[in-house]
A and B are shown apart, each in its own frame.
Chain A
Amino acid sequence: MADNSQRQHWMSILAKSNAAAIEARLADAPALPSHTRLRGPETGLVMVRGRAGGDGAPFNLGEMTVTRCAVRLADGTVGHAYLAGRDARAAELAAALDAALQDPARRPALMASVIEPLAAAQSEAREREARRAAATRVRFLAMETTR
């Protein structure tokens, strides 16, 4: 059993991926073990709660669409996935991957061929966004000095 922070890491990467991206990475990964569906994939609404300033009274911020899935492998390992949006295929793949990644024998190959490339792609996309945003940044200090 992987420790919780490792599992959090791969679950978070999978939760931010879509079905096409996961399937593309799975194409050159070892085959996933077969699974049975325990629950879902099913789509529902989750109430997102917030606190003003991080420590105020909790209030309901709004509802978001979430798709979840739980699957079970033949050896009894249960994998879970909760994803924002309605991508049922991605939820099932993410749950199956979560179950397979809990097996220490399968983990290194799957981490290397699926999770790490997805993580790299996601951090690259994030940096690209950050660069685009940075290009339009207004430097108030610079305006002051040119005055």
Chain B
Amino acid sequence: MTGLLPGFADPVVDAQSTFRAVLEAMARPGRVQRLPAPPAPPAPLSPAAGAVLLALADGETPLWLDAGADASEWARFHAGCPVAADAGGAEFVLAVGTPPALSALEAGTDEDPHRSATLILQVAALEEGTGWRLTGPGIEHEHRLHVTGAPDGFLAQWAANRALSPRGVDVILCAGDRVAALPRGTSIKEG
């Protein structure tokens, strides 16, 4: 344990600007957004993953994370969110290593598709312009996104997740201070 670290420098403004960046990322799948003022969370969390967590999670959203005791203590202190014992019962799932299978996460119901989990997935790097070909709502022709360090078999899991529509898991990719989102309606083809 290294002890608690501070969260956002200016909790209200920084959380709002992070929320705005996540909204923008969700509206334009595959476009990479830079976060203006991310916090310095405990290792191994990246600044972007920490910022998204603090901006989105609160006392009513159980969180599951695989980033160790320091990160879990930090999230509990600053976001006030309960920590779930298993990923299936969590509304936010934060993975820095291999994430749980998308099919193991809460996908919502046909009446309440918004009750699904959101996976905050920390990857090594995000780059626009090469890699995966993304199409779907929010994309005029095609967006390209190169993800370094995506888990093995992610595209197959994603295709199965997309087939659940309107249910399904949304993914927010984080690397350094950059975020990109994959809402459940996005179709991904290998580039």
Contact = CB atoms under 8 A, between A and B. Distances in A.
Nearest to A73: B3
A86 to B, nearest CB: 17
Interface string A52-83: 00000000000000000010100011100000
A9 interface: no
A76 B5 CA distance: 9
A39 interface: yes
A36 interface: yes
Interface residues of A, number: 10
Interface in A6-39: 36-39
Nearest to A76: B3
**Chain B residues touching A, range:** 10 to 19
Contact of B1 (A37, A70, A76): A76
Contact of A72 (B1, B3, B11, B78): B3
A72 B1 CA distance: 14
Contacts of B77: 38-39, 70
Interface in B1-30: 1-7, 11
A38 B4 CA distance: 8
Nearest to B6: A38
A36 B6 contact: yes
B3 A39 contact: no
A127 B180 CA distance: 63
Interface string B68-79: 000000000110
Contacts of A70: 4, 77
A44 to B, nearest CB: 12
Contacts of A77: 3
A18 B68 CA distance: 39
B65 to A, nearest CB: 19
A76 B6 contact: no
Contacts of B1: 76
Nearest to B1: A76
B3 A78 contact: yes
A76 B7 contact: no
Contacts of A42: 11
A64 B21 CA distance: 35
B6 A37 contact: yes
Interface of B: 1-7, 11, 77-78
Given A36-B6, A77-B3, 13 more contacts: A37-B6, A38-B4, A38-B5, A38-B7, A39-B11, A39-B77, A39-B78, A42-B11, A72-B3, A72-B4, A72-B6, A76-B2, A76-B3
26 contacts: A36-B6, A37-B6, A38-B4, A38-B5, A38-B6, A38-B7, A38-B77, A39-B6, A39-B7, A39-B11, A39-B77, A39-B78, A42-B11, A70-B4, A70-B77, A72-B3, A72-B4, A72-B5, A72-B6, A76-B1, A76-B2, A76-B3, A76-B4, A77-B3, A78-B3, A78-B4
7 closest A-B pairs (Cβ-Cβ)? A76-B3, A38-B6, A38-B4, A78-B4, A72-B4, A72-B3, A36-B6
